[in-house]
Amino acid sequence: MKPLLLWSDGLIFLLVFSLIAFFLKLGRNLQTQKRWGQVFNTRLGMVTFTVIAVYVLVALLDSLHFRRALEPVAGAPAGEVFYDNRVTSVLDLMLGGMGDRYERTYSAPFALKSFEKQNMKDGSGVGYRDYPLLRHGGRHLETAADRASDIFWKSLWGIGMGLLVALIVVGLQWVFLRRSPYPWRASWLAQAIIIVLAVWLVSVSKYYHVLGTDRGGLDVAYQSIKGIRTGVLLGTLATLIMLPIAVTLGVMAGYFKGWVDDGVQYLYTTLSSIPGILLIAASVLMFQVYIDLNPDAFSVGLEKADARFLALCFILGVTSWSSLCRLIRAETLKLSQLGYVQAAHAFGVSHRRVLARHILPNVSHIILITFVLDFSSLVLAEAVLSYIGVGIDPSMSSWGNMINGGRAELSQEPVVWWTLSGAFFFMVVLVLAANLFADLVRDAFDPRTSLGATHS
């Protein structure tokens, strides 16, 4: 086993740790504490946060990559180990080889036979055409008639195991958190449901393809789960890349005014006047040319996909900083007129100190609100970009690629609906949770809307 650190893996862990550090630091501020308290004091806040945390956890587990050592070949020099060209992640191990059970092509959820007919030969060598049996789906069954009862018992066992795991996880939290003032019960319920579903899925998919398989014969449920990492990473990394640019330029423009302000305004007006999707498409195409011409820079296929993915995050970040920059500039303009900033100037405090102590902390709520609000739109944008052909590399699992692959299948007879359903479900849950959570955060942190909320 040889660990492999992709660039995006490193970045996501860095991001998560810096976010935790940032929140711990902010947490010491009494006012911030109160505002977060407002978010988490609602059941909705608890449930949506739980869902988002589970997605992030899955993304992190899927970011621990390694390459398996291959079995030594007879005759090869001893001591030399060869590594599999496919990259595996910790999540793949936890899913129990869900991604290794390939079929030939489409198969319906819980199907025993393939979706398409195929030429076969019977025992005496006579050719005929029929639906072939799947390689993995329901192979343990004696007769096809047992299927319904088998699914029922396997599911019951899976749910039972899930309940057991959920009981342990929730029970441990109950011991420590039962006196907490927050509505943990809602979070525990959400956790229990997610755990039961996950355990059921993993245990049943050892015997069946729960969401069927796609054109290439890959398990749809597996692909949907692998899409989580792409979605979560894109939603966070793109904002992370844009934050330093937007904050620095916005604060400087609002604070120093004059030619700095003119320059920054010119920059963001120019960038925002280009239709976003075209700018993104053009940049991605240009990067693709670079990748195509320099194939030696990437040793594993996934590294190439990863480079393209990071480029996409970078491009999305660079093309979307203008709105945040505009907001921060306006807020800084307002703040720099306030009494305490003027007083700091009068006391001869340096610009750097005024910016760090008085301006930045007071625009941080805008940054936070933008971060949570942008997350869901970025996840949605990924699907659209992948459809256009300038999104995630087709070799990397993403919901956009799944939709792209599955959209033509609705015209088949009978309809192949399951390839879309997986992507739809996982995407809607994440985006819905993120949207609802973002609303709560905005209500708590935006002084303007929180004022309006007390009125209504």
Partner 1 sequence: MLAYIVRRLFYAVPILIGVNLLTFILFFVVNSPDDMAISQLGAKHVTPEIVQAWKQKNGYDLPLFFNADAGGSGAFTETIFFTKSVRLFALDFGRSESGRDISADVSNRMWPSLAVAIPNFVIGIWVNICVALLVVMFHGTRLDRWAVALFVGLMSISYLFYIIGGQYLVARVWKLVPISGFSGDEHIWKFLILPILVGVVSGIGSGARWYRTLFLEEASQEYVRTARAKGAGELRILFRHILPNALIPILTGIVVVIPALFMGGLLIESFFSIPGLGSYMLDAIQSQDFAIVRSMVFLGSILYIIGLILTDISYTWADPRVRLE
Residues in the site for partner 1, rule: CB under 8 A? 266, 269-275, 277-279, 281-283, 285-286, 288-290, 292-293, 376, 380, 383-384, 387-390, 399, 403, 407, 410-411, 415, 420, 424, 427-428, 431-432, 435-436, 439, 452, 455-456
Q: Are β-strands 127-130 and 2-4 bridged in parallel, bridged antiparallel, or unpaired?
A: unpaired
| CA distance linking residue 103 with residue 113, whole number of Å | 10
Closest approach of Cβ 392 to partner 1, in Å?
14
The three-point CA angle 362-363-364 to 5° equals 95
Closest approach of Cβ 451 to partner 1, in Å?
9
**The two three-digit tokens of residue 318, written as one number:** 């660079």
Closest approach of Cβ 268 to partner 1, in Å?
10
Closest approach of Cβ 263 to partner 1, in Å?
11
For the chain, what is the radius of gyration of the CA atoms? 26
Closest approach of Cβ 281 to partner 1, in Å?
5
* Identity of the residue, 36 or 426, whose beta carbon is nearer to partner 1 in the bound complex: 426
Which 3 state secondary structure label does DSSP give 92?
A: helix
The position carrying tokens 């092509």 is: 105
Closest approach of Cβ 424 to partner 1, in Å?
6
* Identity of the residue, 162 or 227, whose beta carbon is nearer to partner 1 in the bound complex: 227
Report which DSSP code applies to 282. Answer: H
| CA distance linking residue 320 with residue 377, whole number of Å | 11
Please check whether residue 186 is in contact with residue 170, taking contact to mean a CB–CB distance below 8 angstroms.
Answer: no
Q: In what order do the strands lie in the sheet with 65-69?
A: 2-4, 65-69, 83-89
Q: Which among 268, 314, 267 has a CA at the least distance from the CA of 287?
A: 314
How many residues are listed for the chain in this entry? 456
* Identity of the residue, 169 or 271, whose beta carbon is nearer to partner 1 in the bound complex: 271
Residues 6+ apart with CB under 8 A from 68: 1, 83, 84, 86, 88
Closest approach of Cβ 133 to partner 1, in Å?
30
Please check whether residue 302 is in contact with residue 395, taking contact to mean a CB–CB distance below 8 angstroms.
Answer: yes
Closest approach of Cβ 403 to partner 1, in Å?
5
Q: How far is CA 185 from the centre of its chain?
A: 26
**The two three-digit tokens of residue 70, written as one number:** 């291959």
* Identity of the residue, 148 or 293, whose beta carbon is nearer to partner 1 in the bound complex: 293
| CA distance linking residue 69 with residue 77, whole number of Å | 15
Closest approach of Cβ 389 to partner 1, in Å?
5
* Identity of the residue, 255 or 437, whose beta carbon is nearer to partner 1 in the bound complex: 437
Closest approach of Cβ 254 to partner 1, in Å?
21
Q: Which residues of 288-316 are buried (b: 16+ CB within 10 A; e: fewer)?
A: eeebeeeeeeeebebebbbbbbbbbbbbb
Closest approach of Cβ 414 to partner 1, in Å?
12
* Identity of the residue, 14 or 289, whose beta carbon is nearer to partner 1 in the bound complex: 289
Number of other CB atoms surrounding residue 82 within 10 Å: 12
* Identity of the residue, 108 or 420, whose beta carbon is nearer to partner 1 in the bound complex: 420
* AA identity, residue 311: A
* Identity of the residue, 119 or 456, whose beta carbon is nearer to partner 1 in the bound complex: 456
* Identity of the residue, 156 or 453, whose beta carbon is nearer to partner 1 in the bound complex: 453
* Identity of the residue, 143 or 273, whose beta carbon is nearer to partner 1 in the bound complex: 273
User: What string of DSSP letters covers 371-402?
Assistant: HHHHHHHHHHHHHHHHHHTSSS-TTS--HHHH
Phi, psi torsion values for 66, nearest 5 degrees: -155, 165
Residues 6+ apart with CB under 8 A from 57: none
C-alpha separations of 310 from 26, 214, 282, 304, 330 in Å: 29, 27, 16, 10, 30
Which 3 state secondary structure label does DSSP give 127?
A: strand
* Identity of the residue, 31 or 273, whose beta carbon is nearer to partner 1 in the bound complex: 273
Closest approach of Cβ 86 to partner 1, in Å?
25
* Identity of the residue, 175 or 293, whose beta carbon is nearer to partner 1 in the bound complex: 293
Which 3 state secondary structure label does DSSP give 216?
A: coil
